[in-house]
Structure 1
């Protein structure tokens, strides 16, 4: 199997919750319906097939042990009601999880049955008989900035230090190969181990170099990335009540290390690793 070269060593920093804090189990996932929106887009096979459906059922059975009071998902908070109308159709059995469906929503938003929000998030909330899921995303387009036009031909400035970097093409091939050889559960185990949580760090290396003089195109794009994650953390807070003790947040794995930092800094939360609820890697 191809393996991406390692970057600088990362130290796990999962804090220990105190009794008064709300635990946020951050479950990094991959995009099962291949939307193609990321720098590295994993090529997912069809999760509606019998084999993958069985694996997802087993995976969600493991996640049940987390016993969350809320299931939080990476879908637009602005579409909360529409998303929960779709969730209710699954919850009541009107739609089966292995059906090939695409649900159109307002504001050009859609939700496909192959999406991990349906396959994992809805299933988990359904198992716990939750009446609703909690969509918290506020999407941002990091490249939608005229300031980048100044660098359209040349790209970012060359790095000034020859430090180890992850090659995106090698990473793509490695992750595709690993998914093809893994169950859904064991692949999530891999995605949530410390090394894989930092595969998205290349965006920091590249974007921070974009800019010249008073043009801060790259840093401003990173600021929008942090704004998106901060808004998601805020929306998690908005969804809590005084009975909430633990939530499970299903989110693209590239967000996890940033969200872990943000939830650590907010004293009323404590981020938690999902590894205790995931199967061993094969």
Structure 2
């Protein structure tokens, strides 16, 4: 299918792009190195196996067909030098995508040196940029300081539900995504993860808890605001890292970010969020 045919009708929930807008493809993915930092964490198998490496090569070829001008990754904007120092080692062949490499992770919440080589930043972001012969990648993440005081912490809060809503059970959800991952090639698994019904999952839980103020993870309006603060900063850094003449950027990011980033970029007149589904 030609590029124009793939992008002619956006998938459900995605806007039509205007010619003058910079298109930003939001590729939602799982964390391949098992950092355990999400609300629901997938038990990922080793992406360094021959089978998974072949699937990642297939994914890279599919995404390369979109011809992005720049690859953005979920690593701190301030760590651009460290991130690109690692990228250069992969680009020159000093490090190999299918080999375990040991180096410090340029991530504020990670202190292990063995798993970063398995991360989606390396396995998808670096590999795709390398395939497209990009000189560098652009890290766009930022973790703002968490609030010292939550004004909801000492309030008398009624966190009960006042209407019946159907929400997935997190433990059952974790079992489902783990079952799917172990039996599904990576491109097809990411196609499932990026469907509209799946993208709703994290936000359903966050807003159910946050609006009711349950005091669980992201469970008050304060921490919902923190989550949006982080994503607004990510959208800002996407803009900062664009260069004159860029028409297409691709962001490799955890699936939980997709709905909020899509909304923020859709509200940003110079950008247009794009689904990866036609290429998966």
- Fold shared per TM-score above 0.5: yes
Match of 1:252 in 2: 254
Unaligned runs of 5+ in 1: 1-10
Alpha-carbon deviation of 1:12? Answer: 2.8
Q: How far apart in 2 are the matches of 1:188 and 1:106? A: 24
1:29–1:250 Cα contact (<8 Å) kept? yes
2:200–2:259 Cα contact (<8 Å) kept? yes
Distance 1:31 1:141, change over 3 A: farther
Match of 2:7 in 1: none
SS of aligned partner of 1:235: helix
Cα RMSD (Å) = 2.5
Alpha-carbon deviation of 1:137? Answer: 0.5
Q: How far apart in 1 are the matches of 2:262 and 2:272? A: 8
Aligned with residue 118 of structure 1, among 101, 115, 122: 122
1:208 and 2:211 are equivalent in the alignment: yes
Aligned length in residues: 263
Alpha-carbon deviation of 1:165? Answer: 0.8
Deviations 1:79-128 (A, max 9, x none): 11100000000000011001212321678666710000000000000011
The runs of 4+ residues in structure 1 deviating greater than 4 Å are: 105-111, 140-151
Unaligned runs of 5+ in 2: 1-10
- Residues 182-261 of structure 1: pairs in structure 2 closer than 5 A: 182-201=184-203, 202-210=205-213, 218-261=220-263
Match of 2:6 in 1: none
Q: How far apart in 1 are the matches of 2:160 and 2:140? A: 36
Match of 1:55 in 2: 55
SS of aligned partner of 2:118: coil
Match of 1:8 in 2: none
Q: How far apart in 2 are the matches of 1:49 and 1:141? A: 38
Match of 2:98 in 1: 98
Q: How far apart in 2 are the matches of 1:136 and 1:54? A: 28
Which deviates further from its counterpart, 155-164 or 256-265? 155-164
Deviations 1:6-52 (A, max 9, x none): xxxxx932111111100000100000000000110011000011111
Q: How far apart in 1 are the matches of 2:147 and 2:34? A: 20
Alpha-carbon deviation of 1:139? Answer: 2.2
SS of aligned partner of 2:162: coil
- Residues 33-48 of structure 1: pairs in structure 2 closer than 5 A: 33-48=33-48
2:26–2:253 Cα contact (<8 Å) kept? yes
Match of 2:20 in 1: 20
1:137 and 2:141 are equivalent in the alignment: yes
- Taking structure 2 as the reference length, the TM-score comes to 0.87
